[in-house]
Amino acid sequence: MSRAGRSQVRVPRLPARLQLRLEAPSKASAAASVAVADRKIGSDDLVRSAGEKAVMAAPSRAQARAVAQSRTQARAQTLAADTIRLAPASVAEAHATNLLATKVVHSVEIRPAGTVVSRRRIQNRPAIVHLPHHPTLPTKPPSWMMEECQVSPARAGDQSEILQLLAGLPAAPTKAEFHAAVDHPDHDAGNRLVARLAGRIVGHAEVTPRNVLFGSAVVQAASIDRVAVLPECRGAGHGQRLVREAEERIRQIGAAVAFSRTRIAPSFHEMGWSVMGRDCATPGRPTEILARLLETGSTAIRPSTGASAGLGTQRNGETVTMRQWRHVELPAILRIYRQNTPRFIGPTDRGEAYSRWLVSRGAFDSIIVALVGQDRYDLHETSARIVGYCIQSGNRILELLADPEFPGLEREILARVCAESIENDRQAIVYESSASDPLHLDVAGGESLVQGNDRMIVAKLLKPLVVLQAVAPATAARVAAAGIRETVELGIESPAFRGSVIVADGKSSVQLGRVGRSYLRLSDDELARLLLSQCDPIEATARGTMEASTQTALKLASVLFPRTPLWCPVWDDVPA
């Protein structure tokens, strides 16, 4: 029985990860191997003899089974200990270990006669990935989504479906926005267009009529806002069809020019729209902005002790203080707005009714006013005069203007806004204004003013003659300011317009059908930029987008249509 047990003993083989060092065999290593083998065989005999004695003395089968299990566990422990202590000690053992490295242990079976270890060769099996396999879905929309949609005015029951569609916009409207749109002075239910496909709303566009200012001239215009298409229906031309229907709607209401804010200006350009410029929005940290403003030495902030406490500055013996506005001060805010709009192209012509609608829709959080004089509750500004204001919505500064008689007051108002933002633990603010506003540099602090998510302002000229007639008085004033006494004539030729602007005796007129000797030949895109004062004739000629018949034509174009800052106030379009 002892010999049978010895014949079944298998010497445990080392793992393949052990690094072997081949060296000459020695007597010491051979003796160590023999000693380990004898010790293992002796331990097996002791375990087996102990088990036999226990079986002979066992009174029942249950006890015999328990003894057999204890003997098996003892043999396994002895085998594990010998495996740890066993080390290659000769070249033969090293060679055997190298052969074992090409195989892996498949199973270990412990039998009464001995332990049997079966091995199999290493095979390159594919890696096991425990992630579900998702098949690649086709990117092309289904055929029913590629069909031509039907664009029509929205119905009263479409509100919830439109809100769900517009929820993906960066500034999604709310139900309050829908209710406020009904109270708009120029509200018309046909100005909200939806695109339907198979009975489902897949697109939306809104037309908002408004009068805009080109300097001091008022031009009837309209804006296209909240153009959106379902993500799964994009790429089928539904958005372009919506914009074309919106253009047709603008023509029906008699607007001469259309505006829109968009992040997909190339798509609008493909449909004949002109890119005017950036809708500049500059982010910054209030602490850093306030530090830069204080370094200039132009601001002084008093400790806040109440609702009317804030920033105070001495100007010609008068102290400028700031506080939250009162509703009765809306005419004063409107006065400051009108004092600043003549130097811009594109601001909305705000009347009394329109301004009250802006306030009632609640598209702001606070309005700060700056005033000089003794602050009393006065309806007619006899004791205190408002000289500046700032409109905020969350961390956004929507509008910040000051009386032109107080230069630099805008920086002081911005400092007050930053101080309040620090008190309210706001980590960032966003200043939105014209790209020509110098406050963008104070907010950015040397960083680039161009942001990756900036929107662009695009426009389309629908009635060039109306725009030319509206800006005619301004062109006459510019010719007089340039010191030109003789009669001047500038012809304009484009696919959409052919005529000339004639200035004589301090008056300006537009004559259709003739261009004269000095004229400009340009595209409709460049014509819109020229009439909206966003084109430099010399640069356009260098780019090849404009041709001048004479040098006089270039000089006249620079005098009649000088480049003017573009500003479309965001407060008119921000959702409630």
Fold of domain 463-560: Nonspecific Lipid-transfer Protein; Chain A (3.30.1050)
Amino acid identity of 512?
A: L
Is 321:375 a contact under the CB 8 Å cutoff? yes
The better pLDDT of the pair 160, 308 is held by 160
Tally the residues of the chain: 576
Could you report the per-residue pLDDT of 78-119, keeping only the tens digit for each? Answer: 655 554 444 444 545 555 555 555 666 667 777 777 777 777
Q: Where are the domains of the chain?
A: 2-121, 148-279, 281-453, 463-560
What class does CATH assign to 281-453?
alpha beta
Highest mean pLDDT among 217-221, 295-299, 448-452 belongs to 217-221
Confidence category of residue 231, pLDDT binned at 50, 70, 90: confident
The reply to whether 148-279 and 463-560 are identical in fold is no
Question: What's the pLDDT tens digit per position in 317-350?
Answer: 578 899 999 988 999 999 999 999 999 999 999 9
Q: Which residue has the tokens 């396999």?
A: 133
CATH superfamily of domain region 148-279: Gcn5-related N-acetyltransferase (GNAT) (3.40.630.30)
pLDDT value for 62: 65
Q: What are phi and psi of 295, to 5 degrees?
A: -65, -30
Name every residue whose Cβ is closer than 8 Å to that of residue 34 and which is 6 or more positions away in sequence: none
Query: Do the Cβ atoms of 268 and 222 come closer than 8 Å?
Result: no
Q: What is the mean pLDDT of residues 151-178?
A: 82
pLDDT tens readout for residues 403-426 = 999 999 999 999 999 999 999 999
Measured between alpha carbons, how far is 376 from 394 in angstroms, rounded to an integer? 28
pLDDT at 304 over 50: no
How far apart are the C-alpha atoms of 257 and 466, rounded to whole Å? 9
Task: Check residue 104 and give its pLDDT.
Answer: 65
Q: What is the pLDDT of residue 64?
A: 66
Contacts of 90 (CB under 8 A, 6+ apart): 25, 26, 29, 30, 33
Mean pLDDT of 63-83: 65
pLDDT at 286: 94
As a whole number, mean pLDDT of residues 257-262 equals 94
Least confident of 250-254, 293-297, 455-459: 293-297
